[in-house]
Chains A and B, each alone.
Chain A
């Protein structure tokens, strides 16, 4: 039970002859997932299990904890330990499990309603405590399992069953919330890019501390196509920017556009036009100690700026870890006696045990 979670180092079992290498099939519970055909939850689940296989960590060392909602059904489909808890509260159960059993790889699966609305408080505190735990936030900007109500990430004005005249609630950015709460690994990926999902979730698994990965999920039934501008092959190069540590923020079909800072604001520019050179473009530094840079990335989007995909921030900070107890019989007697105790002797005399 040490701070350094050995199983997170990606080492294979010491005796491969005894334990044959696991395949993805070993991580499937055998229960057929019951998500809608075409739902983004499938590709995410696929990537998660591939990350588990690739980690070389034994199956029993994983515990998947979820709340309530479509995404929260995921633990039932994985042949690991799992707990489908109650709405919004997965982080709380995950915390207790991780404290009781620090060697486990604890993953939390949640959605925009589960994690940000009813479970918003727990989400904040999970981020700020920074336990060595992973969170996958399935953001489809809608309540799916209750059949289509406004969620905390639904855009203003969008018509839903609960707000048929258009949402009057301003949406929140999941990642600025995570950053504000002190998250040490913050990433965003679309459900359509299997490689990016795999790479990002692998990086999350290897991160020491809390990792939050927002997956943009297409809800084919209640919010179909809401992320299409960022996932369609035709538009994606111009609407998104891939974040890679040490590389400039360049995007566009011709890779000729980039993000530079001007008047303390990010600006999309074309390299070679208006005196803009490649050296003007921001170079991505996820380890930037000032979280302002990551906030800027998290808020990018809209008509002017591309939406960033990849790891926005990854820093190394204090990881939550309670002191391991060392109970001894002598210690127990001392605890029970407390202060101010006295002794009744067999001969009827009394003496104070205060030193």
Chain B
């Protein structure tokens, strides 16, 4: 990323007083922290990100952790990574290749070295490169001595020894002192990026308030890391992120993951609609963090941790019957288990939001890895004629907006809405401007209370929604159920004509949602030959690639859809305007198939099913090959 524009300049405004080292001004930079699961890499990654944010940078993060909680130390499958791209202008992805890698052991180096930018900086904890660890990582010889790392700037730092030395005289044991080395590493990076220590210092003070000796040790280690980098010759230059000159809209900002954003979106929707929020859920990776977030806020959400996935959605439907804004969250196998209840919710026409944080399937698949392969199930994975509204989130912060939109549509049309998120979005994070309640559009909800002329299946002519009459309301006693109901009265009906009528009404109701979809936005070249169409998490990498190719003079544009069902009404004419349409997806081509089925438009596809998001160069190469 930094190759977009790299300038050398001597800076007089950085904090390296007395330093003869150069400061390079860059537009953006990709940093990867990697170590054992217990090395605290996610923690220092978070600190680095937030410190950058407070300095006014944009960012996107990608935590990448193994499915085992504490895989054997030193092994390649135990490597935990945290990646962040920081930039002075809007950042759309966590980046492809790393400009700087912090590798805490040989396994971390082994896993990440291939993704290094040529000439990038690799800082290793030299102390961890002992024979045993080198072998565990699968190296036959010490990679610090051979040719393995010859294409990068290798900076060997005895982090363990230096940390222990810095903490001499403290009451910590050598083992405890060694555990502070992640802050030593962070200190070096703070020097490298000319960062202020203040944010992390304050954080350490707050976090370890009850453990003064640990607090002091971590602060010392952080400062020692910074001092080491400043005084050590191996660090030849530092970086400064060039400001774009774009001042963000005033307001409160925070770092938010997709799962947190989804949770807060539901809380916001409950507040805007005046309903109580209910979550029925069962632990499953990578969706569980939505439950964790909502469980923290018990004034705003009642969380029911169910005995299984089916009970979770069953209770959600019960809560919806009872007048709550009802949410259930799940991933992969759990989404399959919920199918029958989605059907019941659909036929009884009660509102509900189902968030599926997609992971690599089928079956248990790759539980911690990302994929976009549940679209077909969301659209077609139920018996009978069972169309549902389906939305997809496109970035971590967009998970908030999608949750609000899903709630609004569910309540307006009295039907379940599926939200497709992805592991990559749920775990990834970015800068988010926190909206106030007043900034969000109202979500009007009215329970039926008048018994005069009440019919459980009468319909609002505009939306075809039936009335929401909740138990406890006098005079509106009625029975719901999975048996087909007569239009209007809601009595059980086996009439052939009524069944066809009801089937069509339920489909028409979902189709009516097109009236709520805003025009599809196109980004990029005004007279593009090729349109890249995306859905879900590919938004960032597609936009990033198109921006770059436009700078190179290529006639490329992109569009992204949030509404998967129904599709926007302007999509077909839009696609017909371009000579070529490319659909990149982390599946075998599910949107590609749907576009062909709906519109008879043959598009190009690019598919990656490796549990990892696309890299920008992969999409760029495909676009270039189509353009010839």
CB <8 Å contact, A331 and B300: yes
Given contacts A104-B322, A332-B437, A344-B251, contact A79 B477 (CB under 8 A): yes
Closest to A68 in B: B482
Please tell me if A80 contacts chain B, counting CB pairs below 8 Å.
yes
Contact (A94, B250) CB under 8 Å given A104-B472, A322-B302, A336-B264: no
Interface residue count for B (Cβ, 8 Å)?
79
B74 contacts the other chain (CB 8 A): no
> What residues of A have a CB within 8 angstroms of the CB of B198 in the complex?
352
- Contact: A95 with B318, CB < 8 Å? yes
Q: How large is the interface on A (under 10, 10 to 19, 20 to 34, 35 or more residues)?
A: 35 or more
A270 CA to B479 CA, complexed, in Å: 52
A 45-86 binary contact with B (CB < 8 Å = 1; else 0) = 000000000000011110101001000000110011111111
A97 to B256, CA, bound (A): 32
Given contacts A100-B276, A344-B248, whether A84 and B321 have CB atoms under 8 Å apart is no
Q: Are A348 and B247 in contact (CB under 8 A)?
A: yes
* In contact, A326 and B472 (Cβ under 8 angstroms): no
Q: Is B436 an interface residue (CB 8 A)?
A: yes
**Known contacts A79-B477, A86-B340; is-contact A100 B249 (Cβ 8 Å):** no
Docked-complex contact B302 and A99, CB < 8 angstroms: yes
Q: Which of B52-60, B401-409, B513-521, B526-534 contacts A (4 or more CB under 8 A)?
A: B52-60
Q: Write out the residue numbers on chain B whose beta carbons fall within 8 Å of the beta carbon of A86.
A: 314, 340-341, 344, 482
Closest B residue by C-beta to A343: B252
**Given known A93-B317, A336-B264, contact A100–B341 (CB-CB < 8 A):** no
Q: Which of B55, B253, B476 has the most CB of A within 10 A?
A: B253
Chain B residues contacting A79 (CB-CB under 8 Å) are: 477
Contact B480 A82 (CB under 8 A): yes
Chain B proximity mask over A88-110: 1 for CB below 8 Å, otherwise 0: 01011111111111011000000
**Is B467 at the interface (CB under 8 A from chain A)?**
no
Looking at the assembled complex, report how far the CB atom of B40 sits from the nearest CB atom of chain A, in whole angstroms. 17
Q: Look across to chain B and name the residue whose beta carbon is closest to the beta carbon of A324.
A: B302
Interfacial residues of chain B within 306-331, with CB under 8 A of chain A in the complex: 306-308, 310-324, 326
By the criterion CB–CB under 8 Å, are B471 and A325 in contact?
Answer: no
B303 to chain A, nearest CB (A): 8
Q: CB-CB < 8 A to B470: which residues of A?
A: 101
Picked from A94, A121, A332, A337, the residue with its CB within 8 Å of the CB of B254 is A337
Write out the residue numbers on chain B whose beta carbons fall within 8 Å of the beta carbon of A322: 298, 302-304
- A94 near B322: Cβ-Cβ < 8 Å: no
Chain B: minimal CB distance from A1 (Å): 10
Counting CB contacts under 8 A, is B271 at the interface? yes
Query: Contact at B471–A104, with CB atoms within 8 Å?
Result: yes
Asked whether, in the complex, the Cβ of A340 is within 8 Å of the Cβ of B255, the reply is yes
Q: Does B292 sit at the interface, judged by CB under 8 A? A: no
Set of chain A residues within 8 Å of B252, measured between Cβ atoms: 337, 341-343, 353
Complexed CA–CA distance, A324 and B198 (Å): 39
A115 to chain B minimum Cβ distance, whole angstroms, is: 14
Is the CB–CB distance between B206 and A332 below 8 Å? no
Interface residues of A in 193-246 (CB under 8 A from B): none
- CB-based contact B481/A83 at 8 Å: yes
Taking the nearest CB of chain B, how far is it from the CB of A260, in angstroms? 40
| Contact between A100 and B319, CB atoms less than 8 A apart | yes
Tell me the total A-B contact number using a CB cutoff of 8 A.
222
Contact of A352 among B199, B308, B316 (CB under 8 A): B199
When chains A and B are docked, how far (Å) is the Cα of A281 from the Cα of B142?
83
Say if the beta carbon of B478 comes within 8 Å of chain A.
yes
**Does chain A have a CB within 8 A of B524?**
no
A305 to B473 alpha-carbon distance, docked (Å): 49
* Contact of A89 with B310 in the complex, beta carbons under 8 Å: yes
Question: Taking the complex as formed, is B145 at the interface, i.e. its CB lies under 8 A from any CB of chain A?
Answer: no
- Name the B residues within 8 Å of A275 (CB-CB): none
Question: Would you give the 0/1 interface string for A312-345, flagging 1 where the beta carbon is closer than 8 Å to chain B?
Answer: 0000000000110111110111011110111111
Give the distance in Å from the alpha carbon of A336 to the alpha carbon of B253 in the complex: 10
The verdict on A332 contacting B267 (CB below 8 Å), with A93-B314, A104-B472 known, is yes
Query: Is the CB–CB distance between A338 and B254 below 8 Å?
Result: yes
A343 to B251, CA, bound (A): 6
- With the chains together, A327 CA to B270 CA distance in Å? 10
Question: A137–B254 Cα gap in the complex (Å)?
Answer: 52
Q: Please determine whether B267 and A335 come into contact, CB atoms closer than 8 angstroms.
A: yes
**Contacts A76-B479, A326-B299 given; does A352 touch B317 at CB 8 Å:** no
Cβ-based interface call for A354 (8 A): yes
Determine the distance from Cα of A4 to Cα of B268 in the docked complex, in whole angstroms. Answer: 30
**A96/B318 contact (C-beta < 8 A), A84-B483, A86-B341 known:** yes
Q: How far is the CB of B280 from chain A (nearest CB, A)?
A: 6
Q: Are B202 and A121 in contact (CB under 8 A)?
A: no
User: Within the assembled complex, what's the spacing in Å between the Cα atoms of A344 and B253?
Assistant: 7
The distance from the CB of A261 to the nearest CB of chain B, in whole angstroms, is 36
Decide if A37 is an interface residue (CB 8 Å cutoff).
Answer: no
A24 at the interface (CB under 8 A from B): no
The answer to the question of A29 belonging to the interface, with a C-beta cut-off of 8 Å to chain B, is yes
Centre residue among B271, B300, B471 by max chain A CB count within 10 A: B471
Q: Which of B260, B435, B437 contacts A338 (CB 8 A)?
A: B260
Q: Is B413 an interface residue (CB 8 A)?
A: no
- The closest CB in chain B to the CB of A78 belongs to B479
A303 at the interface (CB under 8 A from B): no
Inter-chain contacts of A99 with B (CB < 8 A): 278, 302, 304, 315, 318-319, 322
Q: Which of B206, B254, B276, B481 has the most CB of A within 10 A?
A: B481
Q: B475 interface residue, CB < 8 Å from A? A: yes
Question: Are B307 and A121 in contact, with the CB atoms below 8 A?
Answer: yes
Whether A81 lies near B317 (C-beta < 8 A) is no
A122 at the interface (CB under 8 A from B): yes
Residues of A within 8 A of B130 (CB): none
Q: Which of A60, A76, A82 contacts B476 (CB 8 A)?
A: A60
A101: which B residues are within 8 A, CB to CB?
Answer: 322-323, 470-472
CB distance from B379 to the nearest CB of A (A): 21
Contact of B268 among A82, A93, A336 (CB under 8 A): A336
Query: Which residues of the other chain, A, contact B206 by a CB distance below 8 angstroms?
Result: 354
In the docked arrangement, what's the CA distance between A42 and B169, Å? 83
How far is it, in angstroms, between the C-alpha of A322 and the C-alpha of B322 when the chains are bound? 15
Binary B-proximity of A282-315 (CB < 8 A = 1, otherwise 0):
0000000000000000000000000000000000
The CA-CA distance from A328 to B267 in the complex, in Å, is: 12
Least Cβ–Cβ distance between A66 and chain B, in angstroms: 8
A323 contacts across to B, CB distance below 8 A = 298
Report B284-310 CB contacts with A as 1/0, cut-off 8 Å: 000000000000011111111011101
A346 within 8 A of B: yes
Task: For residue A124, give the distance in angstroms from its CB to the closest CB of chain B.
Answer: 8
- Interface assignment of B492: CB less than 8 Å from any CB of chain A: yes
User: B267, A97: Cβ atoms under 8 Å?
Assistant: no
B50 at interface by CB-CB < 8 Å: yes
List the A residue with the shortest CB-CB distance to B476.
Answer: A60
Give the 6 A-B CB pairs with smallest separation, nearest first: A92-B314, A96-B318, A84-B481, A100-B322, A96-B315, A82-B479
Q: What are 19 A-B contacts defined by CB distance under 8 Å?
A: A81-B472, A82-B480, A95-B314, A96-B280, A96-B317, A99-B302, A100-B278, A104-B472, A124-B307, A322-B303, A325-B276, A327-B300, A332-B271, A335-B300, A336-B434, A341-B254, A344-B247, A344-B253, A350-B56
